[in-house]
Structure formats: structure tokens, C-alpha cells
């Protein structure tokens, strides 16, 4: 029993359950616990930039073939586009079949319209060309202090390329130093992960205390439809992809279950990013593939967010009794294919993307987003979990297609004989 109580999965599950109780029974206290979850996420974010940098640089250094790095990146982006487009279509079809917006009372929209104005203003100010040019940082240090994953990824790729072109007398000592630094950073991650139950407790207590379970009732049909659609996407689409590439989705989910629970408790997929890279390397993916695919996927492979946005758009049209033609729905899909990528890394990006999409279509009133404010936080967990599962599957797929997947290491990992660095440190 003592060993079981020290298990991170058990601790996080217990913390989530306790957070729900505190939020439901003492809502004022629960809402006040928001800083606990925020501090935990900030501690994780503190390590994201250096871990991604070192992982990518060491990965490219181990490949030594720049053409192969480019092929991995290109293949990942193509896979992301195919899967997210499929997720969009599934979301639109599901919303049309279930009709979650039918019979919704829209009378509260005018009283809560002010709450949506900030998202509308952000959406109006978004410049998609500026977003892509922003990937290039103004200076080297700024890439690490700004918290932009794509900027760090660009610097790491360029550094890795440059490192592979210099003589071994220069590169070998650097690579050796980076290896040591990587071990130290994952040691820090292991220490921070001991606080994961506390972060999950604070995040869940805040969600329940702030918004209350009663807010779910009016939009329960939408929530149920979104959760069901994401489950169908995960076990249907991603399950089929996993079968095609000859690996078990269930076993992969079991291997990353602790990361999924942390995301559930904190409502943030970023809270699991550094650890997911480490875990998938232990699972059998090469360091170079895991280091390139996962950070890129966090901006370009948001399957859960994509499904939610497509369903939310159709939901609002139904709530306001606006019949959408096939052409209009295809237009929404086309716009979301662009905007869902363009708002990566923006605070409140889900609402910002939705606002910009509605504004672009000029058919569905942007003010209608007020209907979603009460339940958005409860659906953010589903979005984040679907996103992280989608990126985990993508990493294994790319690794297998590039012959960068160690089957022997995978069998040992599933048998419990191999652990990620952070796991060893957490459970010591």
C-alpha cells in the first residue's frame, strides 16, 4: 500500500478527486486556489525552452544527415495537415448530426457580450503574416525568454545544422556538455513533477469553484457531443493509424497515462510537453524524431482544438437559427485550417481563433461566443488531452516511417524494464 501511495498516477488521481470536492463544496476557496495550478504550470514552462533546444540539437547531431532532418520535418507537417483536416471534417459532420445548438436560449447573449469583446479585439488585431514572421526571433536570447516554442525550435534546428558542419574537435565537446546539461534539466523536471498532484488539485479546484458544475446543464448536449466526437476521433481515426503502423494505441496511452492525468488536472497540454519528449524516447522513438515532431505538433497538430472549434462554429449557427449551406460550412473548414495554426501560443487561443473565424465568415454573430464562456473551461481538458494524444501518435508514426523506432526498447518499456529519466527521479 505504501508503494502504491507513492505512485504518481495514484497521487494525481487522488488530487483531482479532492480538487473536485473542494471546488464543489467550497467554491470560494476553490476559486482562490488558482495560483497553485498556475505556479506548477509556470515551473514546467520554465524548462520547456532549454529542454527542446538541447533535445533537438542532440537529435540533429546524432543524425548527422541534414537531408534526413528536412525529410522528417516535411513528413511531420504533411501528416499534421492531413490529420487536422480530417478532425475538422469529423467535427462539422458530428455537429450536423447531433444538432447540439437546437433549442438553446440565446437571450443571455446581450448581457454577457462584454465578456467576449476582449477575444473579438484580439482576433481583429491578429496578423497571420506577422505570426509566421514572428517565428524568427529578434535575438538569440529572446527566443528563450519569450516562451515561443516555434522560435526555440528554429534556433535549435539552425544550431544543430551548424554543429553538424563543424569539425568533430569542436562539436564533440559541445555535444558531451549538452548531454550532461540534458541530464541535469531532466533531473530538475523530476523534482518539479513531484508537485504534479498539487498542481492538478489547484487547477481542478479552481475550475469547479469558479464555474460550478451547474453551468454544465444548459450546454450539456454540446459538451457530450464534443467529448464523444473526440473519443471517436482518438479510438477511431488515431486507432486506425496506430493499427496501420503496427503499434497499440491502448498500450501507448497506458505508457503516457501520467502525462494525460496531469493535463486533465491542469487543463494545459504544455504541462506535459517536456516530459512527453522524454517518455516517447523511452518508448522507442529516436531522440531526433521526438525532439522535432512534438514541439512542432504543439503548434500545428491541435486535433482536439480543431474538433472543438468546428463544432462550436456549427453549434452557434444552430443556436441562432442560421442555416448554413454546404458551401458556407466548407468555407468555415477552410478558414479554420488557417486560423487554428495562426493562433498557436496566443493566450486564450481557442476563443481568439473562434472569434476570428466567425468574423471572417460574417454569417454567425461573434457575440454568440458568450454562450460558450461557462463551459469552455470544462471542455479545455478534452481539447488538451486529445492534442497530446494526437502528438504522441504522430511521433510514433514518423519514427516508424523513418526507421527511427527501436522495437526492442519499446518491448522493454512496455514490460516495465525501461523508464524515462524523469520517471526514475520521480519514483525514487
Which tens digit of pLDDT belongs to each residue from 124-163? 444 556 656 777 888 888 778 776 777 888 888 888 888 8
Q: What distance in Å separates the CA atoms of residue 26 and residue 30, rounded to the nearest whole number?
A: 6
pLDDT band, residue 339 (cuts 50/70/90)? low
- Provide the CATH number for the domain around residue 14: 1.10.3860.10
Mean pLDDT across the chain, nearest whole number?
80
Residue 246 has what pLDDT?
92
Share of the chain above pLDDT 70, in %: 81
Q: Which three cell numbers stand for residue 425?
A: 527521479
- Residue 43 pLDDT > 70: yes
The SS3 assignment for 221 reads: helix
The SS3 assignment for 285 reads: strand
Q: What distance in Å separates the CA atoms of residue 327 and residue 330, rounded to the nearest whole number?
A: 5
pLDDT band, residue 250 (cuts 50/70/90)? very high
Q: What distance in Å separates the CA atoms of residue 244 and residue 83, rounded to the nearest whole number?
A: 14
Name which residue leads in pLDDT, 367 or 141: 141
Q: Which range, of 93-97, 127-131, 262-266, 409-413, averages the lowest pLDDT?
A: 127-131
Domain extent, residue 184, equals: 2-426
Q: Which three cell numbers stand for residue 363?
A: 454569417
Q: What distance in Å separates the CA atoms of residue 297 and residue 281, rounded to the nearest whole number?
A: 16
- Residue 96 pLDDT > 60: yes
Q: What distance in Å separates the CA atoms of residue 386 and residue 230, rounded to the nearest whole number?
A: 7
Nearest CA to 265 out of 27, 85, 86, 33 is that of 33
Q: State the residue for C-alpha cell 504518481.
A: 8
Dihedral of CA atoms 100, 105, 110, 112 in degrees, nearest 10, equals -60
pLDDT band, residue 233 (cuts 50/70/90)? very high
Q: Which three cell numbers stand for residue 122?
A: 484580439
- Residue 271 pLDDT > 50: yes
- Residue 75 pLDDT > 80: yes
Q: Which range, of 83-97, 244-258, 350-364, averages the lowest pLDDT?
A: 350-364
The residue-averaged pLDDT of 249-264 equals 91
Nearest CA to 334 out of 109, 92, 141 is that of 92
Instruction: List pLDDT tens digits, range 283-312.
Output: 999 888 888 888 888 878 888 888 988 898
Q: Which three cell numbers stand for residue 371?
A: 454562450
Are the C-beta atoms of 52 and 288 separated by less than 8 Å?
no
Residue 229 has what pLDDT?
95
Residue 249 has what pLDDT?
95
Residue 230 has what pLDDT?
94
Residue 1 has what pLDDT?
45
The residue-averaged pLDDT of 103-107 equals 70
- Residue 177 pLDDT > 50: yes
Q: What distance in Å separates the CA atoms of residue 343 and residue 349, rounded to the nearest whole number?
A: 6
pLDDT band, residue 247 (cuts 50/70/90)? very high
- Tabulate helix, strand, coil % of the chain (nearest 5): 80, 0, 20
Beta-bridge partner residues of 285? 405
At residue 285, φ and ψ (nearest 5 deg) are -75, 145
Q: Which three cell numbers stand for residue 323?
A: 442555416
Residue 354 has what pLDDT?
77
The residue-averaged pLDDT of 69-93 equals 89
Q: What distance in Å separates the CA atoms of residue 328 and residue 80, rounded to the nearest whole number?
A: 24
Instruction: List pLDDT tens digits, range 384-399.
Output: 899 899 999 999 999 9
Nearest CA to 336 out of 361, 357, 305 is that of 357
Share of the chain above pLDDT 90, in %: 20
Domain total for the chain?
A: 1
Q: Which range, of 2-16, 52-66, 102-116, 238-252, averages the lowest pLDDT?
A: 102-116
Name which residue leads in pLDDT, 40 or 231: 231
Residue 128 has what pLDDT?
52
Residue 425 has what pLDDT?
46
Residue 305 has what pLDDT?
85
pLDDT band, residue 109 (cuts 50/70/90)? low
This prediction has a pTM of: 0.81
pLDDT band, residue 56 (cuts 50/70/90)? confident
Residue 156 has what pLDDT?
85
The residue-averaged pLDDT of 262-274 equals 80
Q: State the residue for C-alpha cell 542532440.
A: 58
Got the DSSP string for 368-396?
GGGGGHHHHHHHHHHHHHHHHHHHHHHHH
Residue 153 has what pLDDT?
81
Q: What distance in Å separates the CA atoms of residue 258 and residue 416, rounded to the nearest whole number?
A: 14
- Residue 180 pLDDT > 50: yes
The residue-averaged pLDDT of 372-378 equals 73
The residue-averaged pLDDT of 347-364 equals 68
At residue 364, φ and ψ (nearest 5 deg) are -100, 130
Amino acid at each position: 500500500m505504501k508503494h502504491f501511495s507513492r505512485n504518481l498516477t495514484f497521487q494525481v488521481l487522488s488530487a483531482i478527486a479532492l480538487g473536485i470536492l473542494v471546488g464543489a463544496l467550497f467554491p470560494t476557496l476553490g476559486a482562490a486556489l488558482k495560483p497553485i495550478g498556475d505556479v506548477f504550470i509556470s515551473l514546467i514552462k520554465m524548462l520547456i525552452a532549454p529542454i527542446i533546444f538541447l533535445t533537438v540539437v542532440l537529435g540533429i547531431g546524432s543524425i548527422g544527415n541534414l537531408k534526413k532532418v528536412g525529410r522528417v520535418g516535411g513528413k511531420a507537417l504533411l501528416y499534421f495537415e492531413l490529420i487536422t483536416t480530417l478532425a475538422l471534417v469529423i467535427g462539422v459532420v458530428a455537429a450536423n448530426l447531433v444538432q447540439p445548438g437546437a433549442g438553446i436560449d440565446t437571450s443571455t447573449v446581450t448581457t454577457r457580450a462584454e465578456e467576449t469583446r476582449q477575444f473579438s479585439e484580439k482576433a481583429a488585431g491578429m496578423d497571420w503574416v506577422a505570426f509566421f514572421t514572428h517565428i524568427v526571433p529578434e535575438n538569440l536570447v529572446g527566443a528563450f525568454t519569450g516562451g515561443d516554442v516555434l522560435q526555440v525550435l528554429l534556433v535549435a534546428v539552425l544550431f544543430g545544422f551548424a554543429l553538424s558542419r563543424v569539425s568533430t574537435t569542436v562539436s564533440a565537446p559541445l555535444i558531451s556538455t549538452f548531454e550532461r546539461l540534458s541530464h541535469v534539466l531532466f533531473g530538475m523536471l523530476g523534482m518539479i513533477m513531484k508537485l504534479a498532484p498539487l498542481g492538478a488539485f489547484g487547477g481542478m479546484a479552481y475550475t469547479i469553484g469558479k464555474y460550478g458544475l451547474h453551468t454544465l446543464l444548459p450546454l450539456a448536449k454540446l459538451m457530450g457531443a464534443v467529448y464523444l466526437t473526440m473519443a471517436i476521433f482518438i479510438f477511431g481515426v488515431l486507432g486506425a493509424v496506430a493499427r496501420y503502423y503496427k503499434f497499440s494505441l491502448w498500450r501507448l496511452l497506458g505508457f503516457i497515462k501520467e502525462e494525460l492525468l496531469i493535463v486533465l488536472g491542469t487543463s494545459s497540454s504544455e504541462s506535459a510537453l517536456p516530459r512527453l519528449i522524454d517518455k516517447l524516447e523511452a518508448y522507442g522513438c529516436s531522440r531526433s524524431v521526438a525532439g522535432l515532431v512534438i514541439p512542432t505538433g504543439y503548434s500545428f497538430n491541435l486535433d482536439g482544438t480543431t474538433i472543438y472549434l468546428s463544432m462550436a462554429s456549427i453549434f452557434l449557427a444552430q443556436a441562432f437559427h442560421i442555416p448554413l449551406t454546404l458551401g458556407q460550412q466548407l468555407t468555415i473548414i477552410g478558414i479554420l485550417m488557417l486560423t487554428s495554426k495562426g493562433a498557436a501560443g496566443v493566450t486564450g487561443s481557442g476563443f481568439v481563433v473562434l472569434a476570428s473565424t466567425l468574423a471572417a465568415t460574417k454569417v454567425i454573430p461573434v457575440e454568440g461566443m458568450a454562450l460558450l464562456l461557462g463551459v469552455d473551461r470544462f471542455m479545455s481538458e478534452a481539447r488538451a488531452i486529445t492534442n497530446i494524444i494526437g502528438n504522441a501518435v504522430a511521433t510514433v508514426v514518423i519514427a516508424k516511417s523513418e526507421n527511427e523506432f527501436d522495437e526492442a526498447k519499446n518491448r522493454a518499456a512496455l514490460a516495465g524494464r525501461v523508464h524515462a529519466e524523469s520517471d526514475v527521479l520521480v519514483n525514487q
